Chains A and B, each alone.
Chain A
C-alpha cells in the first residue's frame, strides 16, 4: 500500500500524541528528582542537574532495605508462582480430566478477587502465626494472586507447542528426559519467561498487602516505603527524595519494557483473549 504525505503526517501526529501521553508524568518525576530544594517551586521541566536527592536516598537505610525487600520478595514470589502455574498449565492444556473447567473458573475468580476483602483476615492470621512483617508473609499472597495470570498466560502458550516433536525425538532414539530437555524446554522457555515478567511486574507493583502486612524495614517494600517517606520535619514532604526513589524503581521497569515489549504484549493478550 502507498500512503500520501498527508496520511504520513497524520500518523506522525498520532504517534507523537501517544508518546507525549506516556512520557510526560515520567519525565516530570525525573525532572523533580534532579532539582535542588530551591528549584522545586520553579514549575520548569528542565532547571538543573543535581544528584543530591539520589545521594540522600542511597544513604538512607530505610530505602536500601525497601529496595532489597522488593527485589527479594518479588523474585521469590515470581519463581514459586511460575513453577506452580507451569504444572497446572501443563495439566489444563495437555491432559483430559474432570474438574478442568472448575480449576480454570476458580483461577478466574481469584483474578477478580478484591484484596481488601482479605487484608483484615490476613492481618489477624499473620500476627497469630508469626508471618506478620516477614518476607514469607508477602510472598504467599503475591504468589497466590499471580497464579491466575500465570496459569492463563502459560496455558495459552503451551497450547501452541507442537508436543508431537517430543515423541518424534524419542522415536529417533532420544531418552524421554533428553526429548524433554532438548525439544520441549526450548519451545516452552519464551512463554515461561513472558509469564515471569508479567508476574514480577504485578508483585513489584503491589501496595495494599505491602502496606497492611508489614510495619518495619524487615519486609516493607518500595511502594509502601514511598508512602511512609517523611522529610526533615513532618510537615515538609520530601518531594525530591520521593521522586528520586520513584525514578530508581521505574528505570528497571522501563528497561525491561523496552527489551521485552513484544513478549509482554503477546503475554498480556494471549492470557486474556485466546485463553
Chain B
C-alpha cells in the first residue's frame, strides 16, 4: 500500500552493511539519488508549498482586489468571518453529503463491477474498455451530458416511463444535489472498481475452495473471506475517492453554475469568493480551512490503514 510502503522502506534502512567500507559508495549513491529527485521535489515545493504559505499570509490580511489600498493585517478575523457565516456551513454540509453519499454508492457499485470482471466467464475486455470511458472522459463533458439528460425540455430522462413528464430536478435544491451526485458516481465508479479488482486478485483462491468444502455459501464467503482480506485495498480506494470527492468542483460548476439553489460545495465557495468577488483575503481563509479539512480526513484514513495492515500482519 502506498502509505505503508515508505514505512517499510524506513524500517529496512538500518540493516545496511558495515560502515567504513561502503561509505564512499553509499555517499555517491545518495548524492545521485538526491540529484535525480531534486527537480521533482523542487517543482512540488514551488507549486504547492510556496502558494500554501502565501495563502496563509493572504488569509491574515484584509485584501479585496476592488479596494487594493485598504490592504492591511487583520489577524484571524477572516477566519472568524468565514466560520460564523451560514454560507461556509451550507457549503460544508453540501460537501459532506455529496462525499458520503457518492463514495458509498461508488463502493457498492464498484464492488459489483469488480466482481463481474473478476469472475467473468467471457466479455472481460469489452467491460474493461467500457468502464474506462467514464474514467477517461472530461468531467466537464460528463457533467454536460447529465445536465442535458435531465433538462426539462430536451432531456431524455423526463420522457422515460415511470418518470413524470414534468419532472424538473434541476429546478430544486434536492433534485440538483441528486443529479450532481449521479454525475460524480457515474464518472468515478470505474476508478473504484479497478482498485477493488486489484484487491480481489490478491485474495487466494484456495481459501474459497477450502470454505466451499466446509459448506460456506457464496454470501458467507464474500463477507467472511473476501471482504476482510480486501480491507486494505478498500481503505486505499476509499481514501483516494473521499479526498477527491471533497474537492468536488467541475460537476457543480456546470450543472448548477455558481452553485445556484444552495448547491455550493466548499471548492465552489472558495472560487466564488476568491475569483468572482476577488476578495482574496477572505477567499484565502476559506482555502486554508478546506486544506485543514482535507488533512484531517487524510490523517483519519492513513491511521485506519496503518492499524488494518498491522492487524493483518499480526494475524498471518
Could you list which residues of chain A lie within 8 angstroms of chain B, going by C-beta atoms?
3, 7-8, 11-12, 14-15, 18-19, 21-23, 25-26, 28-29, 32, 40-41, 43-45, 84-85, 87-88, 90-92, 95-110, 112-125, 140-141, 143-145, 147-148, 151-152, 201, 204-205, 207-208, 211-212, 222-223, 226-227, 239, 242-243, 246, 249-250, 253-254, 256-258, 261-262, 264-265, 268-269, 271-273, 275
Contact = CB atoms under 8 A, between A and B. Distances in A.
Name which of A97, A120, A125 has the most chain B CB atoms within 10 A of its CB.
A120
Interface of B: 1-3, 5-7, 9-10, 13, 16, 26, 29-30, 32-34, 36-37, 39-41, 43-44, 46-48, 50-52, 54-55, 58, 113, 116, 120-123, 125-142, 144-146, 148-149, 151, 153-156, 158-159, 186, 190-191, 194-195, 197-199, 202, 233, 236-237, 240, 243, 246-247, 249-250, 253-254, 266-267, 270-271, 274-275, 280, 283-284, 287-288, 290-291, 294, 298
A257 B125 CA distance: 11
Contact of A117 (B6, B7, B149, B290): B290
Contact of B290 (A8, A95, A103, A116): A116
Contacts of A28: 145, 148-149, 156
B55 A261 contact: no
Nearest to A8: B121
A205 B139 contact: yes
Contacts of A44: 156
A269 B121 CA distance: 22
Given A227-B253, A253-B137, A273 B199 contact: yes
Nearest to B151: A239
A246 B133 CA distance: 13
A21 B46 CA distance: 41
A273 B250 contact: no
B287 A118 contact: yes
Contact of B236 (A96, A262, A273): A273
B13 A98 contact: yes
A265 B128 contact: yes
Contacts of B191: 268
Top-9 shortest CB links A-B? A101-B6, A269-B198, A121-B51, A144-B47, A118-B51, A25-B145, A97-B33, A22-B130, A43-B159
Main secondary structure of the interface of B (DSSP, over half): helix
Contacts of B33: 91-92, 95-97, 100
A114 B130 contact: no
B156 A43 contact: yes
Contacts of A249: 138, 141
Contacts of A152: 2
B243 A208 contact: no
A88 B37 contact: yes
A85 B44 CA distance: 11
A120 B270 contact: yes
Contact of A256 (B47, B136, B283): B136
B44 A107 contact: yes
Contacts of A8: 121-122
Given A97-B33, A117-B291, A3 B131 contact: no
A18 B109 CA distance: 10
A248 B237 CA distance: 31
A28 B137 CA distance: 14
24 contacts: A11-B122, A11-B123, A22-B130, A22-B134, A25-B134, A25-B149, A26-B145, A29-B145, A43-B159, A44-B156, A92-B33, A98-B13, A101-B6, A102-B6, A105-B3, A107-B40, A116-B249, A124-B54, A201-B136, A204-B138, A226-B141, A243-B144, A268-B191, A269-B194
A121 B284 contact: yes
Contact of A87 (B40, B131, B159): B40
Contact of B29 (A12, A96, A262): A96
B136 to A, nearest CB: 4
Given A147-B44, A243-B148, 4 more contacts: A43-B155, A97-B33, A124-B54, A269-B197
A99 B34 contact: yes
Contacts of B270: 116-117, 119-120
Contacts of B194: 265, 268-269
Contact of B9 (A90, A101, A107, A246): A101
Contacts of A112: 243, 294, 298
